[in-house]
Amino acid sequence: MFNKKTVEDLDVQGKRVLVRVDFNVPLQDGKVSDDTRIRAALPTIQYLLDHGAAVILTSHLGRPKGGPDPKYSLAPVADHLSELLERPVQFVDELVGEKAAQAAQNLKAGDVLILENTRFHPGETKNDPELARQLASLADLYVNDAFGSAHRAHASTEGVAHHLPAAAGFLMQKEIQYLGQAIADPKRPFVAILGGAKISDKIGVIRNLLEKADQVLIGGGMANTFFKAQGYPTGDSLVEDDSLEIARELVQKGASKLRLPIDVVIANAFDAEAEMKEMPMGPVPDGWRIMDIGPQTVAAFGKSIQGAGTVVWNGPMGVFEFPRFAKGTFGVAEAVASSSATSIIGGGDSVAAINQAGLADRITHISTGGGASLEMLEGIPLPGLVALNDRD
Ligand code: ADP
Ligand code: MG
């Protein structure tokens, strides 16, 4: 199934290994405020250190515009990693150049070095071949463990892989195996749950899942556009008028596979304290808007989820940031957690919701990559994965 080389296929003893990780973590007051992504890369880093390699880490952080910006420096990440690994982690304030080359040159087995934010370099997002070559010159081997960036063809995620023996890290492998298996060879019934704010973000995903899944359950703001496409007045609900035509097409194509909410929770304002009402799905009164799926929908979706072999979930069922409108999302989360299905959750807000519900440890796989997981569900090959060496 997974046909790429992994770290375990490399002879890393005494080698310098350039590892692209996804250390795009939130910082607060100069400190890492959520280290989930750093911890997710530890198995690969630890494996390399245990097997006698020197490790050179690269990552982007945030979206710095037009060059170095101290706000997005990886220096705090180096400190944090050092605590997690319980060993020194060197930091160099450039990605390539004399200082980086010198620091890489001096590394010994068991040493760890972090280079500065890849996006401080204009060549990164352009996948500049010269930058890729310079990066490659720092090391003997390349490992990509940055699943969250694998959908981008950048110098540190794609270009560099053409210059060195290139393999996947354990996180990359795990993500691809779970998501790839769900799409290519799911245990059936395969139930997909899609929600979130906008349908336009996820049209390709809905299309692909209507082919691959047995049922596609739709909630969240995106359901509103489907309702309007079917001719219901939707009041002040979030609707994407540009996507009405596509919504109609998807409803037709999806036939009985595509299931929309049968009841909804409406509010008289987009506000945590707004007045709320439950109603069976129908015309939304003027001045009101859909904020969540209703209890009957939670029960109906829950039934499908209970009987599933595989569940893939992306996108909250409602405005879960307001407790009043979080019941749909948490109800579905509870159903997914208690189902015996292989369960996979992706998407920044969806993962936040499952954590908030306290149910994360009852999910088979929580993806660390929002955009990358969506592209996998859409069936698009990830350039950062494609560029790695195939297993012989
Ligand atoms: P993810 O990050 O999991 O991919 P999205 O970013 O697509 O999810 O969508 C999450 C957002 O969708 C949340 O901020 C949530 O408030 C919003 N949302 C969900 N349902 C509605 C709705 N009915 N109206 C407006 N916004 C909604
Ligand atoms: Mg989001």
Query: Is 348 considered catalytic here?
Result: yes
pLDDT of 159 higher than 90:
yes
Q: Can you spell out the DSSP letters for 301-366?
A: HHHHHHT-SEEEEES-SS-TTSGGG-HHHHHHHHHHHHSSSEEEEESHHHHHHHHHTT-GGGSSEE
Atom 5 (ligand 1): residue with closest C-alpha? 196
DSSP 155: T
The pLDDT of residue 294: 98
Q: What is the dihedral of CA 38, 41, 45, 46, to 10 degrees?
A: 90
Confidence of residue 62 (pLDDT cuts 50, 70, 90): very high
Cβ proximity of 109 and 87 under 8 Å: no
For residue 295, count other CB atoms closer than 10 A to its CB: 14
Atom 10 (ligand 1): residue with closest C-alpha? 196
Q: Which residues line ligand 1 (CB under 6 A)?
A: 195-197, 201, 220-221, 238, 290-291, 314-316, 318-319, 321, 347-350, 370
173-202 tens-digit pLDDT:
999 999 999 999 999 999 999 999 999 989
Confidence of residue 255 (pLDDT cuts 50, 70, 90): confident
**What SS3 string covers 35-89?**
CHHHHHHHHHHHHHHHCCCEEEEECCCCCCCCCCCHHHCCHHHHHHHHHHHCCCC
The pLDDT of residue 392: 87
Query: Is 37 considered catalytic here?
Result: yes
Q: Rounded to 5 degrees, what are φ and ψ at 263?
A: -145, 160
Distance, CA of 211 to CA of 234 (rounded, Å): 28
